[in-house]
Amino acid sequence: MSALPDCTTLLLEPHNGVLHITLNRPDSRNAMSLQMVAELRAALAAVRDDRSVRAIVLSGAGGHFCAGGDIKDMANARAQGGPAYRDLNRAFGALLQEAQHVPQVLITVLQGAVLGGGFGLACVSDIAMADHQARFGLPETGLGLLPAQIAPFVVQRIGLTEARRLALTAARFDGHQARRMGLVHFVEQDPQALAERLDEVLEHVLCCAPEANAMTKRLLLASAGQPCAELLDEAAQWFSEAVTGAEGTEGTLAFVQKRKPKWAP
């Protein structure tokens, strides 16, 4: 196996042709910091051309998958102005594109919070499995923000109609609802059942030829059409304008202060 990067926000565990990546910021429900984004991109790049790695399993520590973007990173970017927000947002879009196209089979194991950026990662996985009590949602508009980098991948995964409803209401829903809308493939009742399902899926994946899987995945993605870099660049600019505007300032401040935002009539 290729050499893996040193990480402080991830746990990397290769085992029998499978790289297990655990998001490891449990104190923040594995919120996606800029450092975590960089480390995830580095880990995916390290194994991209290594066909001895047949599958990548992405999960979260502490009973949660990922609660979305790191508000602290956004606060730091505020001091640097609009371009910093744009760059921060666009880096996550680059991660989603790279995860979407990784040649290995990408499997997400979803528990607890699966929000914002975590929702986006679920949307780019080849196979997704969830605990029935997992909590999914796109909370951005409730914070005065946009699901800027996530939206194209959500539309591709579950369709425009469902994406509009979820993004424009910031609604939360559970694993059973995620299965019904096609976001996840399997829903299990407890961690043991999730682990057993993962073993079953990996057994099937490992029966397939790695290069054939890689080329088939490339063919399927090309057939479906892809979110383009130009749209994600523009979306990052829109996000920057939203987060520095009045609504973004009020929404993120209300989140930090644990109160409801006060939107203008």
Please report the domains of the chain, with CATH numbers, ordered by start residue. Answer: 1-190+207-265 (3.90.226.10)
Q: How confident is the model at residue 82 (pLDDT cuts 50, 70, 90)?
A: low
Distance of CA 5 to the CA centre of its chain: 20
Q: Are 124 and 69 in contact, with CB atoms under 8 Å apart?
A: no
pLDDT higher than threshold 80 for residue 76: no
Q: What does DSSP say about strands 172-173 and 127-131: parallel, antiparallel, or unpaired?
A: unpaired
Rounded percentage of the chain residues whose pLDDT exceeds 90: 72
Computed on alpha carbons and rounded to an integer, the radius of gyration of the chain in Å comes to: 18
Closest CA to 45 of 5, 88, 85: 5
Q: How confident is the model at residue 133 (pLDDT cuts 50, 70, 90)?
A: very high
Among 186-190, 222-226, 235-239, 242-246, top mean pLDDT goes to 186-190
134, 165 contact by CB (below 8 A): no
pLDDT in tens, 4-25: 999 999 999 999 999 999 999 9
Identify whether the C-beta of residue 122 lies closer than 8 Å to the C-beta of residue 114: yes
The predicted structure's pLDDT at residue 239: 82
Classify residue 203 as exposed, middle or buried by CB count within 10 Å of its CB (0-12, 13-18, 19+): exposed
Q: What is the pLDDT of residue 237?
A: 85
Dihedral, CA atoms, 113, 117, 121, 122, nearest 10 degrees? 40
H or E segment at 84? helix 82-101
